[in-house]
Amino acid sequence: MNDETTVFALALGLQGTPWEVQEINLDAPNKKLTLRLGFARGSRFPHPQTGELLSVHDTLERTWRHMNFFQFACEIAAPLPRVGCGGVEGPPVQAVHVPWARPGSGFSLLFEAMMVVLCKSGMTVQETARILGEWPKRVWRALVPVVDQAMEQLDLSATKVLCIDETSTRKGHNYITVASDPRAVSVVAADGTTRHRARVVAVTEGRDSKAVGEVKAFLAQHQCPAEQIDTVVKDMSAAYEKGVQEHFPQAERVVDFFHVVKLVGEGFDDVRKREHRENPELFAGSLWAWRKREDNLTDEEAQIRSRLLKCRYLQTGRACMILEAFREIFQIPDLAELEMRLHEWYRWARRSQISEMKKAALTVKAHFKELLAFARTRLSNAAAEALNGLIQTAKRKSRGFRDPRHFRAIIFLLGGNLHFDLPDPFPTPTLNPQ
């Protein structure tokens, strides 16, 4: 081999293998570089199933897309050997595994590594394909198997807490269920403190009890039996409630506190809207006086709120006090006092004669046990909602996903903390000796 072929052989990691770079063709007008690989006559290759070194049965001409070489699209071409005897006494004839590419892939390992890095950085598959000079469909065909292979290596044996949330795949009623572990990844901050970060542990289609069952099955496949889950955090969905009772009966159920506060807040907002329609002049300019927390009000907004609170015939003021009292209850550190105050709040809301707040209070009562579990554990879907923000951003940038497999691959890529058995496509930085 000459110097040029030796350099490319080293770059492809061909040392110690029968493979060698035999020819380098540079097509400058079409901006294409082709590396022609081959092997010496009489070379023997390990069988994919048995690992036995066998002579070549025949070859198939194959090409693999490789990393760009400067401004040139690079391609690897080689006769792919097949080994085996094809009879009943020996292993079947199969194509061998090459050191530069994954079996069945039309891309080199380095090219797939670059695809993963670009998509993981927040780029859409369409943007990644444009940068790499490929068709988006070809990128998807390579990306999904790479993510699936990394998912097979997931070890969820340490998972004990599960957050279950839903997200939409596109406009309409197409939903998937995303299960995450809120404390899966430990990150040491600059000040030396250790913080926990959530990661996605399962993604299934739908948002019903069947989806929860599929989450259970996925966890079981990755060293996490259902009996190991001791806490499940979820919203107030009846379908999720049923699914958790069926598939994780031993787990303590925790309702997401922010969903409950949102429910009570929506009850108050319905009261405000109703009375605003009845008294438009009285409520003029009062929107943010109600929407903001009391300690965030400006002087003018505080005066507007105070004026409306003094109107005893209005229900908005009483509904606002019910909402604020509900928030304050969960700041009480003593659990016994918190439970007593929560029962008192329920009786107050039910006697308020405000239909919207009475309805919200009934829903709160139905989830008393889960709310008290939140007060004790302080677990919520906040980490899951943060992951959902990343997921929704990716969905908006991609204009939705028609294929659920594509969406699942992107979700695990962004939030699964996966380990990819791929080479690093970037050079290692060196320190300046000066």
Contacts (Cβ under 8 Å, ≥6 apart) of 407: 169, 176, 203, 395, 401
pTM over 0.75: yes
Position 395 scores a pLDDT of 85
Question: Which DSSP category does 101 fall into?
Answer: B
Position 403 scores a pLDDT of 85
Q: What is the pLDDT of residues 163-204, one digit of tens each?
A: 999 888 776 667 889 999 988 766 666 666 667 788 999 999
Position 310 scores a pLDDT of 84
Q: What is the dihedral of CA 73, 74, 78, 82, to 10 degrees?
A: -90
Position 173 scores a pLDDT of 63
Below-70 pLDDT ranges, the chain: 1-2, 86-88, 171-173, 185-194, 428-434
| Strand runs labelled E in 15-91 | 19-27, 32-39, 44-46, 53-69, 72-83
- Map out the domains of the chain as residue ranges: 3-100, 161-255, 257-377
In words, the CATH class of domain 161-255 is: alpha beta
Q: How far apart are the first and last CA of the chain?
A: 38
Position 35 scores a pLDDT of 94
Cα–Cα dist 422/419, whole Å: 9
Q: Of all helices (H) and strands (E), which one includes residue 186?
A: strand 174-188
Position 248 scores a pLDDT of 95
Position 66 scores a pLDDT of 94
Position 433 scores a pLDDT of 53
